[in-house]
Amino acid sequence: MVFQIKNVNKRFPNHGNELEILNDIDITVNDGEFLSIVGPSGCGKTTLLRMLAGLDFPTSGEITENNVPVTSPSPDRGFVFQQYSLFPWRNVLDNVAFGPEVRGVKDEEKYTMARKYIEMVGLTSFQDSYPSQLSGGMKQRVAIARAMVNDPDALLMDEPFAALDVLSRHKLQEELVRIWQEEHKTIVFVTHNVDEAVFLADRVVVLSKRPGTIIETFNIPFERIRDRTKPEFIELKKEITELLIGD
């Protein structure tokens, strides 16, 4: 899955005028790449991700998936929202099996598929539990499994760990890296957390405040799993943070 974002601009109607959200965004997301987009609140990160998903569209410019314009949502693109968006009346197994169910997969096969990804996110012993019985970290694991069960070529993630405590967030970041290494998906991960972006990504795109423009792109040279205490990790975080503060 290769995304090309070509000269994308986005404006929204605003009391008879137009509010510019994104300005002249050019990014190529390579097949199997883990790309993080970081920037201040309101800079258009989520809007850009929604356009990659086919949930919104550029005012001008073009977004393509494998050279085909993105014009609608697709099962080739899994989306993990900031909120867990789980069905409270379904247990973990049935929540994860929902995608295959909608596609008409038979019960035996859909549950086999669901159990595979529930195991992958470490929740096998909770597959009969309901969302109200799960911690925030567990709910987000279910959301990741539900996105993965359809075997998308790309995973689009909108600040999925933002509401978690530090320990849970770090644990899920490590789990996500492991899953990405096993599944070889293209991942675009939106966050306002510089530490998270540097820990996860092959490449970090830094956006300015609204209207979001690309300030700089960083290739991350560190091997995984990354050590947050290493001086070079800390120095890169500092460089990106200073860019954001100085914008």
pLDDT tens-digit series, residues 50-79: 999 999 999 999 999 999 999 999 989 999
Distance CA 46, CA 52 (A): 10
pLDDT-based confidence at 247, cuts 50/70/90?
A: low
Phi-psi region of 72 (alpha: psi -120 to 50; beta: other; left: phi over 0): beta
Residue-level pLDDT at 205:
98
Q: Which two tokens stand for residue 146?
A: 């539900």
> Would you give the distance in Å from CA 120 to the centre of its chain?
18
pTM more than 0.85: yes
- pLDDT tens per residue, range 14-35: 877 889 999 999 999 999 999 9
Q: Which two tokens stand for residue 43?
A: 């800079």
Whether 117 and 52 map to the same domain: the answer is no
Whether 62 and 184 map to the same domain: the answer is yes
Whether the pLDDT of residue 200 is over 70: the answer is yes
Whether the pLDDT of residue 150 is over 90: the answer is no
Helix (H) or strand (E) holding 8: strand 3-14
Q: Which range of residues forms the domain containing residue 120?
A: 84-151
On average, the pLDDT of the chain sits at 93
Closest C-alpha among 196, 161, 137, 184 to residue 80: 161
Whether 70 and 192 map to the same domain: the answer is yes
Whether the pLDDT of residue 81 is over 90: the answer is no
Secondary structure letter of residue 87 according to DSSP: -
Residue-level pLDDT at 85:
81
Whether 61 and 100 map to the same domain: the answer is no
Domain end (from 98, 131, 151) = 151
Whether 58 and 114 map to the same domain: the answer is no
Mean pLDDT within 67-94: 91
Share of the chain above pLDDT 90, in %: 74
